[in-house]
Amino acid sequence: MSAGAEIEEWFRDLRASQDKEPKNAFYLCKTKNVAKAVKATFEKGVTMEEESRLLGYPLCCVRDHYRRSEQMETAFYMMIKRTAQGNVDEMKRIVTEDVAVTAATAEEIALLQDGQTFHPAPFTSFHMCSECFSKDGSPAKKLSERYEALAKKVDAGFAGTIEVNAEGVGS
């Protein structure tokens, strides 16, 4: 957490209430036990460890996703608080009316830059942590390579389209 902002509970609650819109997700899995476990996460929530296991993503990359998300949330909170000059009612209005705010302080800018720095794992739907990105043979790179081989085996043309569309994405 940034030294400049301790996110207040009302802010987290308000942001969470805005994210209640129903979302459709489809999970393909081999066993009913996994399907039941995934379904249960929608009812009770999920730990990073469970998410990693259920999705088959490296835990370090899942943790990094949440770390970057928290950086973004902290930066947003700081920008709103600064813009509203600490007035909680004004902060709530800014959030609920989706008023644009801009990073102005060095800390806000640094948090946003860090939160937006990511390394796609081609042929997957997750991003690699910096450690996996920088190491040959890392768990994330191995998983990405497995899915790339599968995509090429199923449809080489489609695999080529994925590669072209992924160019220039991320860090």
Phi-psi region of 122 (alpha: psi -120 to 50; beta: other; left: phi over 0): beta
Q: Model pTM?
A: 0.82
pLDDT at position 169 is 61
**Cβ atoms of 171 and 114 closer than 8 Å:** no
Burial class (CB in 10 A: 0-12, 13-18, 19+), 46: middle
3-state secondary structure (DSSP) of residue 47: coil
pLDDT at position 86 is 95
Between the alpha carbon of residue 50 and those of residues 40, 58, 63, 64, the distances in Å are: 11, 11, 11, 15
pLDDT at position 5 is 66
Torsion of CA 90, 94, 95, 99, to 10 degrees: 180
Lowest average pLDDT, out of 23-27, 31-35, 38-42, 51-55, goes to: 23-27
pLDDT in tens, 94-145: 999 999 999 999 999 999 999 999 899 988 888 999 999 999 999 999 999 9
**Cβ atoms of 23 and 92 closer than 8 Å:** no
**Cβ atoms of 137 and 51 closer than 8 Å:** no
Residue 146 amino acid letter: R
CA distance 2 to 124: 30
Nearest to 65 by CA among 8, 18, 130: 130
- Residue 166 in tokens: 């992924």
pLDDT at position 160 is 86
- Residue 12 in tokens: 């987290």
- Which residues neighbour 65 within 8 Å (Cβ) at sequence distance 6 or greater? 126, 127
Q: What are phi and psi of 128, to 5 degrees?
A: -80, 145
Residue 144 amino acid letter: S
